[in-house]
Amino acid sequence: MSGCSLAGRHVVISAGPTYEDLDPVRFLGNRSSGKMGFAIAAAAAARGARVSLIAGPVTLPTPAAGTGSLHRIDVRSAAQMHAAVIGALPADVYIGAAAVADYTPARVAEEKIKKGSGSEGLTLQLVRTRDILAELAGHPRRPELVVGFAAETEDVERYARGKLAAKRLDLIAANRVGVAGSGFESDDNALVIYGADLALPLGPASKHELAGQLLDLICQRLSVAATGTGSAR
Ligand code: CTP
């Protein structure tokens, strides 16, 4: 794959859904396939980066290491993804492509939850998870570039720009979900990349093409003076 060089750069990418366990047989999950995050990981490795790919439960093969390297860490829950992302620091770039659960059950039942006699409904108590992306953006070892994703069903620009500002991100890649030819399970997607001074539409194109275009933008925005943290470890 052609494109800019990310040699010597450490790029951490989260991908896929998280599963939040309710009991030994049930969980709360979402429709993320991990395809976009895996495509970004492949494209970054092909550009020579040292890639740490933090993957939720997906059925995708590990991308090739390209001219760089690729270390895949499989996780299940939002809490495990948080620990793995923080554990991967320091990094030059963090790309949060994962669809991280916003809520997790307050308790995981040790035994399978039974219907019980006469019970017509079940109320689950959920608690907020930690926002990995926002924490990284405010972390003492903040990567030089922190890039988020925003999957929205409506009002895409307003919500995406809101997250860009609230989470103190450098860039956010927004896409509309719930329409044909884009979103979670599709091989294709259409993104708009927002930055403080930027609104760049990309696609519709394959997730592999979009990954390359996003990385070209990231290369341009990385400081040329920095040597990166990738070669130091
Ligand atoms: N994200 C994260 N940790 C969370 C929730 C979200 O790191 N606990 C990241 C995702 O990886 C993504 C971005 O935040 O890069 C946006 O996720 P999204 O679910 O669209 O936004 P939320 O902030 O959760 O807001 P809402 O669900 O209200 O739209």
Question: Is residue 180 predicted with pLDDT exceeding 80?
Answer: no
Block residue for tokens 């049930």: 26
Note the pLDDT tens digit of each residue in 52-64. Answer: 999 999 999 999 9
State the SS3 of 22-63.
Answer: EECCEEECCCCCCHHHHHHHHHHHHCCCEEEEEECCCCCCCC
Mean pLDDT of 213-220: 96
Strand, helix or coil at 93? strand
Q: Residue 184: pLDDT band by 50, 70, 90 thresholds?
A: low
What local confidence, expressed as pLDDT, does residue 230 receive?
Answer: 47
- From 28, 29, 30, 74, active-site residue: 30
For residue 232, pLDDT over 70 is answered with no
Q: Mean pLDDT across the chain, nearest whole number?
A: 92
Nearest protein CA to atom 23 of ligand 1, as residue: 163
Asked whether the predicted pLDDT for residue 208 surpasses 70, the reply is yes
186 has pLDDT over 50: yes
Whole-angstrom Cα distance, residue 200 to residue 173? 9
* pLDDT score, position 233: 36
CA atoms within 13 A on the CB side of 179: 14
Ligand 1 centroid, distance to 99 Cα (angstroms): 7
Average pLDDT over residues 192-197: 96
Q: Whose CA is nearest to atom 3 of ligand 1?
A: 131
- The closest-lying atom of ligand 1 relative to the alpha carbon of residue 133 is 7
Output the ligand 1 site: residues, CB below 6 A.
14, 78, 96, 98, 100, 102, 129, 131-133, 148-151, 163
29 alpha carbon to ligand 1 midpoint, in Å? 14
> Which atom of ligand 1 is nearest the CA belonging to 166?
23
Nearest-angstrom CA–CA distance, 124 and 98: 24
∠ CA 112-105-36, rounded to 5°: 105
User: Which ligand 1 atom is nearest residue 147's CA?
Assistant: 15
Q: Are 119 and 96 in contact (CB under 8 A)?
A: no
Residue pLDDT, tens place only, 142-151: 999 999 999 8
Q: Which residues pair with 84 in a beta bridge?
A: none
First to last CA, the chain: 25
Closest-CA residue, ligand 1 atom 24, reads 102
The predicted-structure confidence for 132-141, as pLDDT tens digits, reads as follows 999 999 999 9
Q: What are phi and psi of 164, to 5 degrees?
A: -55, -45
Domains and CATH numbers, the chain: 10-109+124-227 (3.40.50.10300)
Give residue for tokens 């103190």. 168
User: Average pLDDT in the 99-125 region?
Assistant: 91
- For this structure, is 175 an active site residue? no
Residue nearest to atom 8 of ligand 1 (CA): 131
